[in-house]
Amino acid sequence: MTDEAKTNDSNKPTKTFRDKNDLLWTVELDIPTMRRIKDAVGIDLTAPLSGGGKKTFQRQWDQISNDTFKLVDMLYVACESQCNDRGLTDEDFGRSLDQDSLDLGLQAFMVAYTDFFPPKHRRAMLKAMELTKERVAELPETEITDQMVTNMVDKAFDRLKAQTAKVKAELMSGNSSTICSESSEPETGPV
Protein backbone atom coordinates (compact mmCIF):
# COMPACT_ATOMS: atom_id res chain seq x y z
CA MET A 1 0.00 0.00 0.00
CA THR A 2 1.29 3.49 -0.77
CA ASP A 3 1.91 6.04 1.95
CA GLU A 4 -0.79 8.19 0.37
CA ALA A 5 -3.41 5.47 0.85
CA LYS A 6 -2.63 5.25 4.55
CA THR A 7 -3.38 8.87 5.33
CA ASN A 8 -6.70 10.57 5.78
CA ASP A 9 -8.05 12.13 2.60
CA SER A 10 -7.22 15.68 3.72
CA ASN A 11 -5.03 17.39 6.26
CA LYS A 12 -8.07 18.23 8.35
CA PRO A 13 -8.51 15.82 11.28
CA THR A 14 -11.48 13.51 10.81
CA LYS A 15 -13.19 10.68 12.65
CA THR A 16 -12.03 8.25 9.95
CA PHE A 17 -8.82 6.34 9.38
CA ARG A 18 -7.53 3.57 7.12
CA ASP A 19 -5.96 0.32 8.27
CA LYS A 20 -2.99 -1.38 6.59
CA ASN A 21 -5.44 -3.19 4.28
CA ASP A 22 -6.81 0.18 3.13
CA LEU A 23 -10.20 -0.37 4.81
CA LEU A 24 -11.85 2.85 5.94
CA TRP A 25 -13.04 2.98 9.56
CA THR A 26 -15.16 5.61 11.29
CA VAL A 27 -14.72 6.12 15.02
CA GLU A 28 -18.17 6.40 16.60
CA LEU A 29 -18.50 7.58 20.19
CA ASP A 30 -21.69 7.87 22.21
CA ILE A 31 -22.62 7.08 25.81
CA PRO A 32 -23.15 3.31 25.31
CA THR A 33 -19.85 3.04 23.43
CA MET A 34 -18.06 5.00 26.13
CA ARG A 35 -19.53 2.66 28.75
CA ARG A 36 -18.22 -0.37 26.79
CA ILE A 37 -14.80 1.31 26.54
CA LYS A 38 -14.81 1.88 30.31
CA ASP A 39 -15.71 -1.78 30.87
CA ALA A 40 -13.07 -2.97 28.37
CA VAL A 41 -10.07 -0.83 29.34
CA GLY A 42 -10.99 1.02 32.54
CA ILE A 43 -10.92 4.54 31.10
CA ASP A 44 -13.94 6.73 31.85
CA LEU A 45 -14.11 9.03 28.85
CA THR A 46 -16.95 11.02 30.42
CA ALA A 47 -14.79 12.12 33.38
CA PRO A 48 -13.96 15.58 31.94
CA LEU A 49 -17.68 16.37 32.01
CA SER A 50 -17.79 15.87 35.76
CA GLY A 51 -15.44 18.78 36.46
CA GLY A 52 -12.03 17.20 35.89
CA GLY A 53 -10.96 19.89 33.45
CA LYS A 54 -7.56 19.96 31.79
CA LYS A 55 -5.90 17.58 34.25
CA THR A 56 -8.52 14.91 33.56
CA PHE A 57 -8.25 15.55 29.82
CA GLN A 58 -4.45 15.28 29.99
CA ARG A 59 -4.65 12.04 31.99
CA GLN A 60 -7.13 10.60 29.46
CA TRP A 61 -4.90 11.66 26.56
CA ASP A 62 -1.87 10.01 28.20
CA GLN A 63 -3.75 6.78 28.87
CA ILE A 64 -5.07 6.62 25.32
CA SER A 65 -1.91 7.56 23.47
CA ASN A 66 0.68 5.71 25.55
CA ASP A 67 -0.82 2.23 25.73
CA THR A 68 -1.05 0.52 22.34
CA PHE A 69 -3.19 -2.33 23.67
CA LYS A 70 -5.71 0.05 25.21
CA LEU A 71 -5.77 2.11 22.04
CA VAL A 72 -6.45 -0.96 19.87
CA ASP A 73 -9.17 -2.15 22.26
CA MET A 74 -10.75 1.31 22.34
CA LEU A 75 -10.67 1.60 18.56
CA TYR A 76 -12.22 -1.84 18.27
CA VAL A 77 -15.07 -0.94 20.62
CA ALA A 78 -15.61 2.36 18.76
CA CYS A 79 -15.65 0.48 15.42
CA GLU A 80 -17.29 -2.74 16.65
CA SER A 81 -20.48 -2.43 14.61
CA GLN A 82 -18.38 -1.99 11.45
CA CYS A 83 -16.32 -5.06 12.42
CA ASN A 84 -19.53 -7.05 12.89
CA ASP A 85 -20.82 -5.89 9.48
CA ARG A 86 -17.52 -7.02 7.90
CA GLY A 87 -17.39 -10.30 9.84
CA LEU A 88 -14.18 -9.35 11.66
CA THR A 89 -13.25 -10.34 15.21
CA ASP A 90 -11.35 -8.10 17.58
CA GLU A 91 -8.19 -10.05 16.72
CA ASP A 92 -8.80 -9.57 12.98
CA PHE A 93 -9.22 -5.85 13.62
CA GLY A 94 -6.01 -5.71 15.69
CA ARG A 95 -4.06 -7.53 12.97
CA SER A 96 -5.19 -4.94 10.42
CA LEU A 97 -3.45 -2.12 12.31
CA ASP A 98 0.17 -1.11 11.90
CA GLN A 99 1.87 1.89 13.51
CA ASP A 100 0.77 4.29 10.74
CA SER A 101 -2.87 3.23 10.99
CA LEU A 102 -2.69 3.35 14.81
CA ASP A 103 -1.46 6.94 14.63
CA LEU A 104 -4.33 7.82 12.28
CA GLY A 105 -6.73 5.83 14.49
CA LEU A 106 -5.61 7.80 17.54
CA GLN A 107 -6.16 11.05 15.65
CA ALA A 108 -9.63 9.91 14.53
CA PHE A 109 -10.43 8.78 18.08
CA MET A 110 -9.43 12.15 19.53
CA VAL A 111 -11.55 14.02 16.96
CA ALA A 112 -14.55 11.81 17.78
CA TYR A 113 -13.84 12.23 21.49
CA THR A 114 -13.71 16.02 21.37
CA ASP A 115 -16.77 16.14 19.08
CA PHE A 116 -18.70 14.30 21.77
CA PHE A 117 -18.34 17.21 24.19
CA PRO A 118 -20.34 20.46 24.20
CA PRO A 119 -18.85 23.19 22.00
CA LYS A 120 -17.56 25.21 24.97
CA HIS A 121 -15.30 22.27 25.95
CA ARG A 122 -14.64 21.03 22.43
CA ARG A 123 -12.95 24.15 21.16
CA ALA A 124 -10.43 24.25 24.02
CA MET A 125 -9.69 20.52 23.69
CA LEU A 126 -9.12 20.78 19.93
CA LYS A 127 -6.96 23.85 20.35
CA ALA A 128 -4.84 22.14 23.00
CA MET A 129 -4.39 19.07 20.81
CA GLU A 130 -3.46 21.22 17.81
CA LEU A 131 -0.97 23.30 19.79
CA THR A 132 0.56 20.14 21.22
CA LYS A 133 0.84 18.60 17.75
CA GLU A 134 2.50 21.77 16.38
CA ARG A 135 4.93 22.01 19.27
CA VAL A 136 5.88 18.32 19.05
CA ALA A 137 6.51 18.74 15.30
CA GLU A 138 8.81 21.69 16.04
CA LEU A 139 10.97 19.71 18.46
CA PRO A 140 14.33 18.41 17.28
CA GLU A 141 14.53 14.72 16.49
CA THR A 142 15.03 13.65 20.10
CA GLU A 143 13.04 11.46 22.39
CA ILE A 144 9.77 13.15 23.30
CA THR A 145 8.83 12.35 26.87
CA ASP A 146 5.37 12.28 28.42
CA GLN A 147 6.42 15.15 30.66
CA MET A 148 7.30 17.30 27.64
CA VAL A 149 3.87 16.70 26.12
CA THR A 150 2.15 17.33 29.47
CA ASN A 151 4.02 20.63 29.85
CA MET A 152 3.05 21.71 26.33
CA VAL A 153 -0.63 20.92 26.90
CA ASP A 154 -0.60 22.69 30.28
CA LYS A 155 0.91 25.79 28.68
CA ALA A 156 -1.60 25.66 25.81
CA PHE A 157 -4.53 25.46 28.26
CA ASP A 158 -3.07 28.30 30.33
CA ARG A 159 -2.78 30.50 27.22
CA LEU A 160 -6.34 29.64 26.19
CA LYS A 161 -7.57 30.46 29.69
CA ALA A 162 -5.72 33.81 29.66
CA GLN A 163 -7.04 34.65 26.18
CA THR A 164 -10.59 33.76 27.22
CA ALA A 165 -10.33 35.91 30.35
CA LYS A 166 -8.99 38.81 28.29
CA VAL A 167 -11.84 38.56 25.77
CA LYS A 168 -14.42 38.35 28.57
CA ALA A 169 -12.92 41.40 30.27
CA GLU A 170 -12.93 43.36 27.01
CA LEU A 171 -16.52 42.37 26.31
CA MET A 172 -17.59 43.33 29.83
CA SER A 173 -15.89 46.71 29.51
CA GLY A 174 -17.58 47.30 26.15
CA ASN A 175 -14.26 47.62 24.35
CA SER A 176 -14.85 44.97 21.67
CA SER A 177 -12.98 46.86 18.93
CA THR A 178 -9.60 45.70 20.20
CA ILE A 179 -10.73 42.09 20.20
CA CYS A 180 -11.35 42.12 16.47
CA SER A 181 -8.10 43.92 15.69
CA GLU A 182 -5.83 41.58 17.64
CA SER A 183 -4.37 38.48 16.08
CA SER A 184 -5.95 35.22 17.11
CA GLU A 185 -2.69 33.36 16.55
CA PRO A 186 -1.37 31.59 19.64
CA GLU A 187 1.81 32.81 21.24
CA THR A 188 4.90 30.94 20.25
CA GLY A 189 7.99 30.47 22.27
CA PRO A 190 10.18 27.90 23.93
CA VAL A 191 8.56 24.87 25.43
Q: Please compute Rg for the chain using Cα positions.
A: 18
Angle between helical axes of 146-173 and 53-65 (0-180°, round to 10): 150
In this predicted structure, what is the pLDDT of residue 66?
A: 78
**Per-residue confidence of the chain (191 residues) as pLDDT tens digits?**
433 334 444 566 689 999 999 999 999 999 999 999 999 988 888 877 666 666 666 677 777 777 889 899 999 999 999 999 999 999 999 999 999 999 899 889 988 988 888 787 777 776 766 666 666 566 565 555 666 666 666 666 666 666 666 766 767 776 655 444 444 444 444 44
Residue 114, pLDDT score: 82
Distances (CA, A) of 30 to 35, 127, 143: 9, 22, 35
Using CA atoms, how far apart are residues 44 and 109, in angstroms rounded to an integer?
14
User: What are the backbone angles phi and psi of residue 30, rounded to the nearest 5°?
Assistant: -150, 180
Residue 137 has what pLDDT? 63
Q: What is the pTM of this model?
A: 0.61
- pLDDT in the model for residue 120: 75
Looking at residue 180, its pLDDT comes to: 45
Distance CA 40, CA 43 (A): 8
**How far apart, in whole angstroms, are the C-alpha atoms of residue 116 and residue 145?**
28
Q: What is the pLDDT of residue 63?
A: 74
Is residue 79 within a helix (H) or strand (E), and if so which, with residue range? none
DSSP code at position 54 = H
